[in-house]
Structure formats: structure tokens, C-alpha cells
Amino acid sequence: MNKIWFCVAMTIALSACKGKPKTLPIYGPHEPVERIVDGNKIIDTVYQTIPAFRFINQDSTFISNHNFDGKIYVADFFFTSCPSICPVMHRNLMKVYEKYKGNDQVMLLSHTIDYKYDVPHVLKKYAQKLGVDGSQWQFVRGTKDSVYTLAKQNYLVSVGEDGKAPGGYVHQGYLVLVDKEKRVRGAYDGTDSKQVDQLLNDMDILIAEEKK
């Protein structure tokens, strides 16, 4: 997983040097599928998508993948008591929130990996401290298996418990961009301001792409 997103990060960095691409690549496992169109056999590519999920949010309300239907969104994994990368990640993610606040095409989805402590009222307090209100940025909690499996298998982000790590958990600081078809279109180091700027550029590209 580290190698996959390292390569993606390098691709993003190189594309930033060359200027904006017209379209974004699609990442993740994919397979060719035969289809018949107008009597002709064609080979189409089917990409892995983010599967169905159901979590409780900072307002003690259950949300699911359907809340993100027809949206592009940025997903990440964190915990509220994180003493290391999370504060930097979310300060940078606030740039995304502020730029697209009120845009009904865009959402943000932060999954806590601290399933023991980060109950809804803790997530709510955390969101308020950041300056987040409304439903555009969701902070969610689920069971350990549901969140950790989603992180590792679908967003390709490494997370885990580690008693020797600061705060007791370890995770990567990627901000993962997902399109309206729930396909992964990029991953950006949330602690790197240049990559966050590239995320903002790529979101504009994706929004324009989705309008076509």
C-alpha cells in the first residue's frame, strides 16, 4: 500500500510541474469486461469502487454511501487525540472545506480509527474546534473491522493500533479523492501543502470532467 500511494504521489508531483492534466487517472484494481454495443463486441474496463458503508457521524446520525451519491469527495483517516500528523492534515483539509463550502457537488469524509474513544459527541467537539458546521464535512465512527477494512482494502491507506506509537494508533496521512462513480482518482499527502494545493487543482478538474 505504501508503494502504491508513493507512486501516485510522485505522479501527482510530476503532473504539478507539467501543468494541469485535462483528465485524472483512475486508480485501484480493474478488469476488462466484454460488452455488446450496437451489435459489436467491445472491451470495457471496470474499476474497483468504494463499497457500501454505514457509519454514525458527529451528530449521532447514521450516514451511508448513499449520502455521497452524485458527489465527489475527499476521504481520510484520523483520530481526535492524534498528537502527530492529524492536526496538520486537517488544517490543510480546511483549505478544501473553505474553498468548496456550500458547493453541493463536494463533500469530505473523515473516518476515526479510534473506535474506543471517538464517540459522536467527541467528534462533534473536534469538528467545532476546527470550525466545521453543517453536513458537508462528515466525521464518522464505525466498528474497528468496518473502518480498518475499508481503509486498507478500498482506500489503500494503512491504519492500525500500536501501543508504542504516539496516541496508540498509526495511520497514513493521505487525502483520497473519490469521484461520483465512487472510484479513486488520486491520493495526496495531507501534511504536504504543495500536494494539498494539487488536490485543490485536481478537484476543479474532476468537477469539470463530471459535467461533461
pLDDT, tens only, 155-204: 999 999 998 998 999 999 999 999 999 999 999 999 999 999 999 999 99
16 pLDDT higher than 70 = no
CATH numbers and ranges of domains, the chain: 2-21+49-211 (3.40.30.10)
86, HSE (Cβ side, Cα atoms, 13 Å):
22
Cell reading at 190? 495531507
Question: In this predicted model, what pLDDT tens digit does every residue of 143-158 receive, in sequence order?
Answer: 999 999 999 999 999 9
Q: What is the pTM of this model?
A: 0.85
Residue-wise pLDDT tens digits, 62-90: 999 999 999 999 999 999 999 999 999 99
| Rounded-to-integer distance, Cα 46 and Cα 112, Å | 30
Residue 134 has pLDDT above 90, yes or no: yes
Percent of the chain with pLDDT over 90: 75
